[in-house]
Structure 1
Amino acid sequence: MMRQYELVERVTRYNPNTDEALLNKAYVYAMQKHGTQKRASGDPYISHPLEVAAILTDLRLDDASIAVGLLHDTIEDTDATRTEIDTVFGVEIGKLVDGLTKIRRLDLVTRRAKQAENFRKLLLAVADDVRVLLVKLADRLHNMRTLQYVPPEKRAAVAEETMEIYAPLAGRMGMQDLRDELEDLSFRNLNPDAYATISERLARLGERSHGLSGEIETELKRRLVERGIAAEVYGRRKRPYSIFAKMQRKSVAFEQLSDLYGFRVIVPQLEDCYRALGIVHTTWPSVPGRFKDYISTPKQNDYRSLHTTVVGPSRQRVELQIRTAEMNRVAEYGIAAHALYKDGEGGGRNIVRLTQESRAYAWLRRTIDMLSEGDTPEEFLEHTKLELFHDQVFCFTPKGMLIALPRGATAIDFAYAVHTDVGNTCVGAKINGRIMPLVTELANGDEVEIIRSKAQTPPAAWESIAVTGKAKSAIRRATREAVRRQYGGLGRHILERAFERAGKPFSLEVLEPALQRLGQPSVLDLLTAVGRGEARSEDVLRAVDPDAAGGAGTNGSRRPPPPRRRTTTERPSIPIRGLKGDLPVRFAPNGGALPGDRIVGILTPGEGVTIYPIQSPALKAFDDEPDRWVDVRWDVEPDADERFPAQIIVESINEPGSLAGIAQVIGENDGNIDNIKMIRKGEDAHEMAIDLEVFDLKHLNRIIAQLRARPTVSTVSRVNG
């Protein structure tokens, strides 16, 4: 177990101006509070906060963070209180310890709804001060290192939580080494057989290729020194989980993996990175498609480096990462690298100021800001997990703005990455100057121009195409809002009709005083409820003007009959423009309805209005529900190209070519067959129920007339469902 003076020495190595009194006080306080407590391993409990503090010193964090590492379990596991911590160590440290206490109480692997809400709380806890996350990651790392002492039933849950949440968060904060170790430890506990198998194969491979790593390091250094570059070169074998993930991702066996070794080349200056790359590529053949320049286009977690793969000595594929010492520091420490002391400066304010310069910290802040956009906890969790796990491609706008997207992203994702409004109004895309489908998968370096239309509303189907959480979330919100507007428009039409029938003027303003009585937060919510059938127009009228309610049909003896019984043409009616209109409309399930038909609408709660022809026998079922009848009328432009559903029954002689002849008539008349159901009526005849899509009643009648003229057709009739 680490001693008090050893901890202070570790901190003073990178911060000579450390507050030794603070560290000593935190050490003694934690020792006294945890007292005789034991860990599951049987070790004194104080060994855990000491190891957490040691990990934080490896990250070179400030004095307050080290103190919090020592104190992080005191409120949860001892009689210490937040007030006492504030008094002894100050409000800043008290706030950090309190944030960690709240995180510890969260269960991130429970059922999905609770997991999502807890994940929101986790990010909110780290929003104000990223040091809470850094201490939590150090805490989780030590717990994973000692997970073998935890009961098996709990072990799997902790490992799963680490793999799903904490390891990706560490990676998103740029702390790749910490992420690799967390993933490896989780993998060892979640899939011990696979871990053991890969580890064994790696060990055997190491024995066979003994000396290869040293040979490559020596040769690389020699080549670089000859060209005047004093570089550090060191190699390492990939970790078991990294290998397992690649095998799963590429569906290959262990024997098919050829790049199990990676080397880092640390050079003095930025320009030396590109010089070293040229030396490497002129010494050994490069593997096509394996070069990535993260210096000119850094990752969103601030990672910068040149990546390449070459065929080195012994025809072995070798991965190389070329970077400066400063880039390497950021690659190793991630967001913690922005908290390092400059010119001996220290203190909590310094760390917060520096982390605000970090792109990773900016991502964290943007993610927190999404909480205010109204997503459900489940949607927020989905969005954030997508953001955590992605690999990137880099694309450009026509003006040269760089857009980083997950691998597999489409033009739809690109549009939403530029701005939500751009995505919502997107109707097409030019990729590298050519008009391409919106579902086109983007590649590194693509230039994407989004074509927009103010009349566009994103289709709900886009959600299944989009890859990024931002796009999925925005599409879902836009779809909900479009449906809400549709129902709101329908509700307005229904209320206008009800008010006019009662002889009362209608306006949105007259509804506002009645909102509280109707239990609706806004006028739009009220209109939407009426459109959905969740609120009755008579109830709204009664709430607005109790004296007028009787005339609106609240009394059974005075209620007007269903609209189809009426003969007046002066009453207001709702315009029907088809399925693509601005109202939630469906057509009768059996037979549909066509422009040219006299029609009525039936309001179904939660589904909108179903349109029936006036002669439909199905309307009899609604005779006792006059409140559901809605006056509707066609409002279709003569040259509109939208088709409407209809169904016909055709009885035909059963002979070769009869079905082909019927289909030919329909096709020649520009009709579209959606479905056919055939029933055998005897040896020589069969009956076909044909679902059609036609423009209007005249179009359907023309098709019916020509079908009747066929010699193989005996009868044709339209279905009026």
Structure 2
Amino acid sequence: MMRQYELVDRVRRYNPHADETALNRAYVYAMQAHGAQKRASGDLYFSHPLEVAAILTDLKLDDATIVAAVLHDTIEDTDSTREEIEQIFGHDIAHLVEGLTKLKKLDLVSKRAEQAENFRKLLLAIAEDVRVLLVKLADRLHNMRTLQYMPAEKRARIAEETLDIYAPLAGRMGMQGMRDELENLAFRHLMPEAYEMICARLAELHHKNEGLIAKIEKELSEELAARGIEAKVEGREKQPYSVWRKMERKSVAFEQLSDIFGFRVVVGTIEQCYRTIGVVHTKWPNVFGRFKDYISTPKENDYQSIHTTVVGPGRQRVELQVRTAAMDDIARNGIAAHVLYKDVPVGDKDMLGRESRAYQWLRRTIAHLAEGDSPEEFLEHTKLELFQDQVFCFTPKGGLIALPRGATPIDFAYAVHTDVGNSAVGAKINGRVAPLLSELQNGDEVEIMRAEGQVPPAAWETAVMTGKAKSAIRRATRDAVRAQYMGLGRQIVTRAFERAGKAFSDEMLKKALPRLARGSLEDVLAAVGRGEMYSGDVVKAVHPEFKEEKKPAPMRAHNEAGWFGMTKATSLVFKVPGPEGKAERQSIPIRGLQGDLPVRFAPNGGAVPGDRIVGILTPGEGITIYPIQSPDLTAFDDQPERWLDVRWDIDEGRKEYFPSKILVTAINEPGTLGIIATLIGEAGANIDNINIHPLSQDFHEMTIDIEVSDLKHLNTIISQLRARPAVSKVERVNG
């Protein structure tokens, strides 16, 4: 266990003006507070906060952060209070310790809703003071280093949580060294066999190429020295988890990886970085498409370096990273290496991360909290952004947009502005028209074509990569559906007032909102449109004296002017012939049948040409034809011997009709049934049966058995019905 003077010495190595008194006081206070408490390993508990502080001294953090690390478990695990710590150590340190205490209670790998809400709290605490994150990451790193002492089930949970949240969060803060260690420790506990296999292969490869690595280091150093560039050249090896992840992502074997070994070249100035690249590309041919300049265009986590791959000595591919010493410090330690952390006055937490791109990303992520998404959506979107590498694209005016790898022009549009994304209808990539689902590459110039009044399709949500785009599309889709229900609700309410002979206006309805227990006019109309509120209740709320007369409605059905108003479930059987009449069916045109067994369609919904179909054999009864999507087929999952491979055998010159079934939800008012029946008839289909079931006083649900020529015919009818104002919903019934 680290001693008191050792802690002070570690801090004074990089900060000669360290507050030695505060460090000594924190050491003694925490040791006395934790007393004889033990960890799962059997060590004194006090050793843990000391190790966390030691990790942070390696990052050269300010005195307040080191003191907070030593004290970070005192409020949670001892009798210490926030007030006592503030009295002894001051407000700033007490505030940090309290923030860490709240995070200590989080259990991110739990039920999804709890996980999401806890992650929200985590990021909110970090956004308030980023030093909370640095102590939390150091705390997690030491816990991972001693994870072998925990029970197996808890080990798996903590390792999963580390791989899922903390490692990528460290990466997003540019702390690559900490990310690598967290990932490898989690990998070792979650997949020990894979970890051991990759470590063994890496050791074997290192031994085999040891001479070649030394040769490349020497040759490159001498070449640069001859050109007057003083450089530190060192070989580096890919981390085990990084190797495994690349093998999984690209579905390749270990032998097929070409970048397991690389070289880092550290020089004095930015000018020497570019001169080094010139020397390297002059001596060895570069590999096309493998040059990336992150100095002129830094990553969002502050990473800067030039990457290139050349065919070096022995015709070996050699990956190089060229950077300055300051860039190398940031590449290893990220936000913790930022110059503002080196000498920050206690209490001036606003300075922390003020110039850090990584911290700016964190602030933007937190800004999504204000956009009304549920915690689950927020967690989903933030995880997406945590795990993605980046591409950099440009607007036509030269603006730079950073996006996750795999992003599309839709992501680009939403990154520019939500309104641009919502109104996007097309894109030009590097001056050429391209699909909106094209994958963007580094350096692409993207121009978004827009149309006012456009609503983003719900399907876009599954195609985009960024959390902002997913969130905006989901919100726009919800708003569009709500607007649709509001329009339907307004139509129902207006006609309800007309039938009652009462005056109606938006202002009158707004005054009645308290009686309807709704917050806005839009809420009322949407509720009526969804069938959650009866239109008669709206009339009564506006005109309390109104008394609705309940009269039994007549039941009529004909092709010109149908009538809704049935007070119980009603079944109507009649025919609406198509324009060409109905051809009498002699047989079911199916291939793949054997013998002379009788064949029939499934009773619930049937199948039509264009559907993928399957036959089910029932001994003694014959064969029943089902569409492949029918839920009724699950009853035969354990009887594979009854399944027959069948397909349609349609004579294009012969007009035939096939049974299908649709479910229609429509407004309950005079003329609705006639509208629906007329539309089906004019579309050239036949109605065999209609079953009407009242959902509420405003809506009825109809199950309609119809006969159509094929799947395209059926889908056309469904689309035309959905377009009618009186129709709320239409869907096909299968089973």
- Assess same fold via TM > 0.5: yes
Native 8 Å contact 1:96 1:132 kept in 2: yes
1:409 shift after superposition: 1.1
- Distance in structure 2 (CA, Å) of the matches to 1:350 and 1:564: 78
1:379 shift after superposition: 0.8
1:200 shift after superposition: 0.9
1:215 shift after superposition: 2.2
Matches within 5 A, 1:49-448: 49-338=49-338, 340=340, 345-448=343-446
- The aligned amino acid for 2:698 is D
Native 8 Å contact 1:340 1:351 kept in 2: no
Matches within 5 A, 1:396-545: 396-545=394-543
Closer, same or farther: CA 7–514 of 1 in aligned 2, 3 Å: same
* Deviations 1:369-395, CA, capped at 9 Å, x for gaps: 111111111111111011101111111
Secondary structure of the residue aligned to 2:479 is helix
Query: 1:627 and 2:664 equivalent?
Result: no
- Distance in structure 1 (CA, Å) of the matches to 2:104 and 2:131: 15
Closer, same or farther: CA 261–696 of 1 in aligned 2, 3 Å: closer
1:601 shift after superposition: 7.3
- The aligned amino acid for 2:549 is N
- Distance in structure 1 (CA, Å) of the matches to 2:719 and 2:147: 68
1:675 shift after superposition: 4.3
Native 8 Å contact 1:338 1:351 kept in 2: no
* Deviations 1:124-167, CA, capped at 9 Å, x for gaps: 11111000000000000111111111111110100000000000
- The aligned amino acid for 2:442 is N
Which shifted more, 75-84 or 129-138?
Answer: 75-84
1:65 shift after superposition: 0.3
The match for 2:676 among 586, 596, 612 is 612
Tell me what 2:711 maps to: 674
* Deviations 1:208-234, CA, capped at 9 Å, x for gaps: 222333222222211111111111122
Native 8 Å contact 1:561 1:626 kept in 2: no
* Deviations 1:413-449, CA, capped at 9 Å, x for gaps: 1111111110000011111111111111111111111
* Deviations 1:23-76, CA, capped at 9 Å, x for gaps: 111111111011111111111111111110011111111111000110111111
Tell me what 2:652 maps to: none
Closer, same or farther: CA 253–560 of 1 in aligned 2, 3 Å: same
Secondary structure of the residue aligned to 1:320 is strand
- The aligned amino acid for 2:370 is S
- Distance in structure 1 (CA, Å) of the matches to 2:674 and 2:424: 30
Closer, same or farther: CA 451–26 of 1 in aligned 2, 3 Å: same
1:87 shift after superposition: 1.5
Native 8 Å contact 2:137 2:166 kept in 1: yes
Closer, same or farther: CA 194–620 of 1 in aligned 2, 3 Å: closer
RMSD in angstroms over aligned alpha carbons? 2.9
- Distance in structure 2 (CA, Å) of the matches to 1:609 and 1:49: 74
Native 8 Å contact 1:301 1:334 kept in 2: yes
Tell me what 1:602 maps to: 666
Secondary structure of the residue aligned to 1:547 is coil
- The aligned amino acid for 2:699 is R
* Deviations 1:161-191, CA, capped at 9 Å, x for gaps: 0000000000000101110110011000000
1:497 shift after superposition: 1.1
Which shifted more, 425-434 or 131-140?
Answer: 425-434
Native 8 Å contact 1:601 1:612 kept in 2: no
The match for 1:555 among 549, 563, 569 is 549
Secondary structure of the residue aligned to 1:466 is coil
Structure 2 residue runs of 5 or longer lacking an equivalent are 563-604, 608-663, 682-686, 722-735
- The aligned amino acid for 1:458 is P
Secondary structure of the residue aligned to 2:322 is strand
- Distance in structure 1 (CA, Å) of the matches to 2:6 and 2:691: 88
Closer, same or farther: CA 649–402 of 1 in aligned 2, 3 Å: closer
Closer, same or farther: CA 544–81 of 1 in aligned 2, 3 Å: same
- The aligned amino acid for 2:677 is P
1:104 shift after superposition: 1.4
- Distance in structure 2 (CA, Å) of the matches to 1:32 and 1:485: 63
- Distance in structure 2 (CA, Å) of the matches to 1:609 and 1:172: 59
- Distance in structure 1 (CA, Å) of the matches to 2:716 and 2:481: 27
Secondary structure of the residue aligned to 1:264 is strand
Native 8 Å contact 2:534 2:697 kept in 1: no
Tell me what 2:585 maps to: none
Structure 1 residue runs of 5 or longer lacking an equivalent are 570-588, 592-599, 631-644, 651-672, 677-689, 698-721
Tell me what 2:616 maps to: none
Native 8 Å contact 1:293 1:307 kept in 2: yes
- The aligned amino acid for 1:206 is H
- Distance in structure 1 (CA, Å) of the matches to 2:691 and 2:706: 20
- The aligned amino acid for 1:627 is D
1:197 shift after superposition: 0.6
Native 8 Å contact 2:531 2:696 kept in 1: no
Native 8 Å contact 1:533 1:603 kept in 2: no
Secondary structure of the residue aligned to 2:398 is coil
* Deviations 1:483-512, CA, capped at 9 Å, x for gaps: 001101111111111112222222222222
- The aligned amino acid for 2:438 is T
- Distance in structure 2 (CA, Å) of the matches to 1:208 and 1:629: 77
Matches within 5 A, 1:675-694: 675=712
* Deviations 1:96-117, CA, capped at 9 Å, x for gaps: 1111111111111112222111
Provide TM-score, normalisation by structure 2: 0.78
Native 8 Å contact 2:129 2:349 kept in 1: no
1:520 shift after superposition: 1.6
* Deviations 1:616-655, CA, capped at 9 Å, x for gaps: 786662479653269xxxxxxxxxxxxxx996567xxxxx
- The aligned amino acid for 2:711 is D
Secondary structure of the residue aligned to 1:297 is coil
Closer, same or farther: CA 168–623 of 1 in aligned 2, 3 Å: closer
- The aligned amino acid for 1:466 is V
- Distance in structure 2 (CA, Å) of the matches to 1:417 and 1:610: 48
- The aligned amino acid for 1:39 is R
- The aligned amino acid for 2:388 is H
Native 8 Å contact 1:30 1:74 kept in 2: yes
1:563 shift after superposition: 10
Native 8 Å contact 2:33 2:74 kept in 1: yes
- The aligned amino acid for 1:410 is T
- Distance in structure 2 (CA, Å) of the matches to 1:544 and 1:136: 57
1:253 shift after superposition: 0.9
Native 8 Å contact 1:339 1:351 kept in 2: no
Closer, same or farther: CA 137–692 of 1 in aligned 2, 3 Å: closer
* Deviations 1:594-633, CA, capped at 9 Å, x for gaps: xxxxxx97249xxx99962269786662479653269xxx
1:84 shift after superposition: 1.3
